[in-house]
């Protein structure tokens, strides 16, 4: 999936750590955070530090 994304949007290469892409770490982290938000969408205040870390990373990348 990610390789197709990069083929269609090469400007995103700087956003992702390629070592994490190769090892599958990025895909696993994306899945885990997606599941977390989907299961807790009505209780976002319970996400605490995890939500802050995700938000901080996205803000730092201007996403």
Chain segment 1-60, per-residue pLDDT in tens: 556 777 888 887 777 777 877 788 878 888 888 888 888 878 877 887 877 888 888 888
The confidence score (pLDDT) of residue 55 equals 83
> Cα(19)–Cα(26) distance, rounded to whole angstroms?
9
Per-residue model confidence as pLDDT tens digits over 42-52: 887 788 787 78
- pLDDT in the model for residue 24: 80
How many angstroms separate the Cα of 40 from the Cα of each of 10, 21, 31, 37, 49? 32, 26, 14, 5, 14
Q: Per the structure block, which two tokens stand in for 20? A: 């994490």
Q: Greatest CA separation found in the chain?
A: 37
């Amino acid at each position: 999936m990610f390789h197709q994304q990069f083929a269609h949007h090469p400007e995103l290469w700087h956003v992702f750590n390629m070592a994490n892409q190769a090892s599958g770490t990025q895909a696993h982290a994306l899945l885990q955070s997606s599941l977390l938000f989907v299961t807790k969408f009505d209780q976002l205040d319970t996400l605490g530090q995890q939500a802050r870390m995700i938000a901080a990373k996205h803000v730092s990348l201007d996403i």
